[in-house]
A = this chain, B = another copy of it.
Amino acid sequence: LASANPDHWKKAAAIRALALDGVAAANSGHTGMPIGMADVATVLFEKHLKFDAKNPDWPDRDRFILSAGHGSMLVYALLHLTGYEDMTLEQVKNFRQWGAITAGHPEFGHAKGVETTTGPLGQGIANSVGFAMAEESLRAHYGKKVIDHHTYVIAGDGCLMEGISQEAIALAGRQELSKLIVFWDNNNITIDGTVELSDRTDQVMRFKSAGWHVQDIDGHDAAAIDAAIVAAKKSGKPSMIACKTHIALGHAAQDTSKGHGALTDAAAMAEAKARYGWTTGPFEVPADIKSAWEAIGSRGNADFTAWQERFATVSGSKQAEFNRAFVGDAPKKLSATIKALKKSISEKAPSVATRKSSEMVLAAVNPICSETIGGSADLTGSNNTKTADLGVFDTDNRKGRYVYYGIREHGMAAAMNGMALHGGIRPYGGTFMCFTDYARPSMRLSALMGIPVTYVMTHDSIGLGEDGPTHQPVEHLAMLRATPNMHVFRPCDTVETAEAWELALSSKETPATLSLTRQNLPTLRTEHKTKNLTSQGAYVLADAEGKRQVILMATGSEVEIAMAARDILQAEGIGTRVVSMPCWELFAAQEESYRKRVLPGGPVRVAVEAGVQFGWDQWLSGERGKAAKAGFVGMEGFGASAPAEVLYEKFGITALAVADKAKSLL
């Protein structure tokens, strides 16, 4: 290999040496994968990847995604070698240390050039489908001169064994995402041993069955890699290149599961480096090799300049729209649109399910937000996510802004992450609230990465009715609220739904989950307020008349019940305040003085929510409350199959039960 193509070999050796040194310094990490895929990465970066190391935020750059995120030293080595300014040698030396941008797994937002956070396997390849969809959409909207790039992915056996990969590749195949090119690091090794221990899938046949263009090559043969990429780019389908590689090539641990991990033995490292012809000390890259790599890093600069010139020829309004969408600013009209809708709703006071409320908001908002792309995991009519103006994103209509994701909650969430990460797109997508379970790994990554994806989760309680406990969330609000950096909105009517959407569409660094009902709810916010009350997280919806003895707290469909309970209590002369709490996270973020005004100490507190109590003690006995004067009305276990009204009655989530609970505590 070395003799056949010495220039290539030296550049690849630089990656291999840095991977060895980085992992050895950290005494932790994965050495074998970067070593094994160094040849593929070198050819890709040298000959194909459109990028400019000095302009890493260039919107039309090719995206490079390391789905096999444990091989993070591969991307750090590439970024350092090609001259990304933030990826200093110091950072590489501090691999996996506190404060370094060289985290154990690539973390979005740490280092430029890291397009997404990977490590949880299969996520990167599934994100990449969103990247490629975003590219298609933006190319259709802004034209080829503004957006026209590829998305490249390196995926390992782990990525391909994870179920999410099937959702991703089937979606990509269906959508004929021809600018998506995946390299499979076919090294036949997993942590437990050879792949054979747990898998014999014919991956080539599998990808073909999903509508992909597939090639099978020697992943150490530079010419074959180059030819395969050329062919992949020509294909009208997404392309998978199976790269037969040797994990930890040239190291004593080559082709073993030991080679997957941290290779830190000094003698074995020295031997491997000798085989690479690498004679310099740790972290030392010979100047000629470094400058060869830096030339690769600046290869795209002319392209970047040309792009800037082309972009300057686009109309001013398109430029402004493009820049706004990439920065993530909401359209200027959003606030006025939401206010107008709120006013109209407060006057008309419709009784609708909040999933329908959400559709009403989207119908007003989608026409003024060209950056939204909506969708559903095969529950379009139930999630109410499709508005008339969107059109369907398809092979013959890339301007369409609605995606039929199929029965693929996980793939949908990961694709939405990819779209948001790409920039220029603000994705939202729906399924039943209970099936946040399926999307969970990607939802966590939305929160961890801090990207404004919006999850439209309908049928959010036993109010779903007859479908039964498999479809009735009880713990899911708690799960989402426990997740850092996730705004969980559970609006009680159309006005709160509009406010929640305004916040979701204005967010730049926090994803949102909208928890919406199947069943109809009355409009409770009948007095129009221009202020977005949901932005405070909780507020007094109806105050006590007379002496305030009771505070009822509720969210979503149970606010109606709290209001009815208040009627009962007030009729008995018990002054009762109702606090609507559509977003705990935003309420917790308010100043204490505000929180104290809403939840003063003293009165009895009863919370009502058609979910488990878990988490509610924060507001019941915490926050100036007292355990002995606090009660909860909700679910104690899983739901059941019956009509919604029967379930509310049988599980005791009624106005009478709330009033009785309050009285028992007085």
Contact = CB atoms under 8 A, between A and B. Distances in A.
A331 interface: no
Interface string A462-496: 00011111110011001101111100000000000
A408 B195 CA distance: 13
Contact of A376 (B174, B192, B474, B643): B192
A620 interface: yes
Contacts of A411: 163
Contacts of A447: 638
A604 to B, nearest CB: 15
Contacts of A191: 378-382
Contact of A163 (B410, B444, B469): B410
Interface string A605-645: 00000001011011011111111001000001110111100
Interface in A156-200: 157-158, 161-167, 170-171, 173-174, 190-193, 197-200
A468 to B, nearest CB: 4
Contacts of A285: none
A130 interface: no
A470 B105 contact: yes
A404 interface: yes
Nearest to A118: B470
Interface in A133-171: 157-158, 161-167, 170-171
Nearest to A636: B484
A629 to B, nearest CB: 12
Contacts of A244: none
Interface stretch (A206-214, A225-233, A247-255): A206-214
Interface residues on A, range: 35 or more
A55 interface: no
Contacts of A448: 469-470, 638
Nearest to A613: B618
B406 A638 contact: no
Given A166-B165, A378-B191, A469-B107, A206 B200 contact: no
A105 B206 CA distance: 31
A284 to B, nearest CB: 24
B468 A107 contact: yes
Given A205-B209, A482-B479, A641 B103 contact: yes
A483 B635 CA distance: 11
A297 interface: no
Contacts of A406: 161, 190, 197-199
A366 to B, nearest CB: 18
A309 interface: no
A621 B617 contact: yes
A435 interface: yes
Given A29-B466, A208-B205, A620-B622, A441 B445 contact: no
Contact of A625 (B193, B435, B441, B627): B627
A647 interface: yes
A475 B407 CA distance: 27
A192 B376 CA distance: 9
A405 interface: yes
A621 B627 contact: yes
Interface in A259-302: none
A481 B163 contact: no
A117 interface: yes
Contact of A471 (B100, B119, B171): B119
A337 interface: no
Given A210-B206, A440-B440, A448-B469, A107 B641 contact: yes
Contacts of A100: 641
Contacts of A467: 104-105, 119
A646 interface: yes
Contacts of A380: 191-192
Interface in A411-433: 411
A202 interface: yes
A397 interface: no
Contact of A475 (B118, B209, B482): B482
Contacts of A638: 447-448, 484-485
A381 to B, nearest CB: 7
A203 B626 CA distance: 59
Interface string A70-112: 0000000000000000000000000011111001110100000
B98 A482 contact: no
Which residue, of A198, A406, A620, has the highest number of chain B Cβ atoms within 10 A?
A198
A437 interface: yes
Contacts of A407: 121, 157-158, 161-162, 190, 198
Contacts of A435: 120, 441
Nearest to A203: B209
Interface in A432-456: 434-435, 437-438, 440-441, 444-445, 447-448
A165 B210 CA distance: 14
Contacts of A475: 444, 479, 482-484
Contact of A445 (B405, B470, B479): B470
A664 interface: no
A364 interface: no
A98 B640 CA distance: 7
A98 B468 CA distance: 10
9 contacts: A98-B650, A117-B470, A161-B378, A163-B166, A190-B406, A192-B404, A202-B210, A479-B479, A617-B617
Given A198-B405, A482-B482, 9 more contacts: A97-B642, A98-B643, A105-B468, A120-B434, A163-B408, A173-B201, A192-B381, A448-B470, A622-B630
